[in-house]
Chain A
Amino acid sequence: MSAARTGCRYAVVAVHGDDAIAQRLTAGGLWPGAQIERLGQAPFGDPMLFRLHGYRLALRKSEAQRVQIVEVAS
């Protein structure tokens, strides 16, 4: 998810790991099948900003890396 390009649409495939961070990511809406869109990033490229389920979610790069995504046609 950290490699997502601005303006493209993606679908979540899986969240890696089984710790508190993974649980929080899932609880925040990053479950398999969820549609995401990268909106932008803070200065120096971190944290990153995504839209999912109609709201804006800020994530650090290190957390975004745990989310596997696949591009979908927009």
Chain B
Amino acid sequence: MTSSAPATPRVARRIALVGRANSGKTSVLMHLTGSLQRPVNFPGSSVECIESSVVEAGVTLNVVDLPGIGSLQATSRDEELALEVLHGRSGQRPDLLCVVLDASKLAVELAFLQSVRALGLPIVVALTKIDVATAEGFPIDAPRLQQALGLPAVVVHGVRGTGAPELRRTLATAALVPANANAAAVAVAPAARTLRASRTDRIDRWLLHPLLGPVALLGVVLGMFQLVFVVADPFLGWIEAAQGFVSDHVGGWLPDGAWRSFVVDGVINGVGSSLVFVPQIALLIAFVTVIEATGYMARAVFLLDRMLRCVGLSGKSFVPLASSFACAIPGIVASRILGDERDRLATIAVAPLMSCSARLPVYVVLLAAFFPPHQAGLLLFLLYLLGIVVAVLVALVLRRTVLRGGTSMLLMELPAYQRPRCRLVFAHTLFAVKSFLRTAGTVILVATMVVWALGYFPRPAAIHEQFEAQRTAAPAGTEGDATRAQLDAAEAAAYLEQSWLATAGKAVQPVFAPAGFDWRMTVGVLAAFPARELVVPTLGTLYSLGEVEASADEPDVRLSTALREQKGADGKPALDGLIALAVMVFFALCSQCAGTLAAIRRETNGWKWPVFTFVYMTVLAWLAAVAVYQIGRLCGYGG
């Protein structure tokens, strides 16, 4: 990046990066402007128009990365977006096109270039994947090709970024004259292919084997879950321990009263409970990014296409659905890669049923509280399976009713395998974690404080006086200390019982009574509708306010213990394994995420689909929770 004297007036060029799917546009953009997007080895991964700028030789280059297009005829939503920009229908028409050509499939790419010339815009060519072409047995004679094209052309190496400074200079200085639309097509006689099978061919022999291929895919998916649940586990323990440590120390400095309760039960609890998600989100995003970057994601789509078509989806639905296990919002955006509108709508409608990482803490807390570890693992697997099975059924029903018909197609490149770049996986993961924490820092924290306030107030003096009298009456010394601790806990519970939160929970509780929820769990469910991340902090506030002080010295099992030991009005435990199961089934199916509904609204341009998704999921969740509880009772489980 060279910068001229600040007095020089800046000239700006609007440049569109154009290329076929998986031609390496995003990689070029990254090396061109230093913007850290995520170039991945999956056709159709740039589903948004990403813009970034850089100054070169006194010219500001505003580069917009368009979604990959197959031709100048749009067949999917993301191609439409790209073509709108190219024809100047959306925003300002670009001054210059930077056409990215993948050298490893040059014949097709040159035909594409020929059709882009017809747009009548100036063109600079960036030639990528020269190394892949060589590895695949089609070495390219770059200088001769550059000459034959009759356009400014620069070779850019996708991994190292060599050629990027030269491309920047070319883009800043190229004459802005339209490319000759009538130029003769460049014919490349492909060099004789070396007979040796390429590395990708040899890997595919195993990974696309009719029997071993599906086994390998199953292994990859199971590996993903293993990674999330086993590797993330120690991190969860550390975060919870740190939270316990901070609240014990900060609690010690503050005087007893509303402020201490606010800081410890409201703020620290809220922040800690949302930080607990970070390891899982980071691992899932990193894993999905690595899978895309290696080129395996396209293989997974290829292997699963037939199966997913049986349930009315497409092989490409696998990508949005797999991302939805981390978070449904990027999953819904990713469904733009689906060519057929009905496939896309069906995928969007079922994506929120995949158990996202925000549901995991609910499962983890309840499973740890009520089930031995060997059962907990199996139940966790079944909860994930439940989401998938219900998604399949809903997709089937949708494709046979409101989304009947349609001709979808699968025309997809299986790219050469590539080694994922650590820096990019790291950058992308960091980006995902940061955007999650922005939500956690605002929505979750604010909602936690509101829930705390509703649970803390009102504070009638009568309760305090009643318990103060009993405390004074208790005998002095060690014996009296135990009695006083019990009285303190009973006082906290008495305050909570008459709080605004309890009043609301008790009013709504009859709706959830058939599923066995007590009023506390009802409050947790209600508080989770804006974002299900809120349920763990809410339950934390609800059950720890009335908590017996003795369990405070085991911070990592704090909430699980509190849930197990909570007594109902009749003295029996308020929750048991069966109720916990009903709660988890409810969370597995319920639509409790304002962000997801907003994403659906944006992607479908209307309220119909978000409203439909919210209603069907919530109704299904309630029915399933009631069914679990009632059938369980009939079979003699639970108290």
Contacts and interface: CB of A to CB of B under 8 A. Distances in A.
Contacts of B413: 55-58
A11 to B, nearest CB: 13
Contacts of A55: 104-105, 108, 136, 413
A34 B107 CA distance: 9
B104 A54 contact: yes
B210 interface: yes
Contacts of A27: 70-71, 73, 108, 111-112, 115
Interface stretch (B239-247, B302-310, B516-524, B594-602): B302-310
A25 B108 CA distance: 11
B410 A59 contact: yes
B208 A49 contact: yes
Interface string A51-74: 011111111100100000000000
B412 interface: yes
Contact of B407 (A21, A39, A52, A57): A21
Nearest to B43: A58
A49 B213 CA distance: 14
A31 B187 CA distance: 14
Contact of B410 (A34, A52, A60): A60
B311 interface: no
Given A55-B108, A56-B414, A63-B409, A42 B305 contact: yes
Contact of B106 (A21, A34, A53): A53
Interface in A4-61: 20-21, 23-25, 27-29, 31, 34, 39-44, 46-47, 49, 52-60
B305 A60 contact: yes
Nearest to B71: A27
Contacts of B193: 54
How many B residues are at the interface, by size bracket? Answer: 35 or more
A23 B46 CA distance: 22
Chain A binding surface, main DSSP class: mixed
Contacts of A23: 71, 73, 75
A12 to B, nearest CB: 12
B106 A58 contact: no
B158 interface: no
B70 A47 contact: no
Contacts of B223: none
Contacts of B44: none
Contacts of A57: 411-414
B190 interface: yes
Interface string B64-103: 0000001101010000000000000000000000000000
A10 to B, nearest CB: 16
Given A24-B71, A43-B214, A49-B302, A54 B411 contact: no
Nearest to A61: B306
B70 A29 contact: no
Given A25-B411, A47-B302, A54 B138 contact: yes
B315 A31 contact: no
Contacts of B396: none
A47 to B, nearest CB: 5
A47 B307 CA distance: 11
B133 interface: yes
Contacts of A63: 409-411
Given A23-B73, A63-B409, A53 B302 contact: no
Contacts of B204: 39-40, 56
Contact of B315 (A39, A44, A47): A47
B305 A20 contact: no
A5 to B, nearest CB: 16
Given A20-B73, A24-B70, A59 B306 contact: no
B134 to A, nearest CB: 11
- Pick the most buried of A23, A46, A52, A60: most chain B CB atoms within 10 A of its CB: A60
Nearest to B407: A21
A60 B409 contact: yes
A34 to B, nearest CB: 8
Nearest to A57: B413
Nearest to A19: B407
A31 B115 CA distance: 14
Contacts of A43: 210, 213-214, 303, 306
A31 B71 CA distance: 14
A53 B301 CA distance: 22
Given A29-B107, A39-B201, A58-B305, 18 more contacts: A27-B71, A27-B108, A27-B111, A29-B105, A39-B204, A42-B208, A44-B306, A47-B305, A49-B302, A53-B105, A54-B107, A54-B190, A56-B414, A57-B412, A58-B413, A58-B414, A60-B410, A63-B409
Interface of B: 70-71, 73, 75, 104-108, 111-112, 115, 133, 136-138, 190, 193, 200-201, 204, 208, 210, 213-214, 298, 301-303, 305-306, 315, 407, 409-415
8 contacts: A21-B75, A24-B75, A43-B213, A54-B107, A54-B136, A54-B137, A55-B108, A57-B413
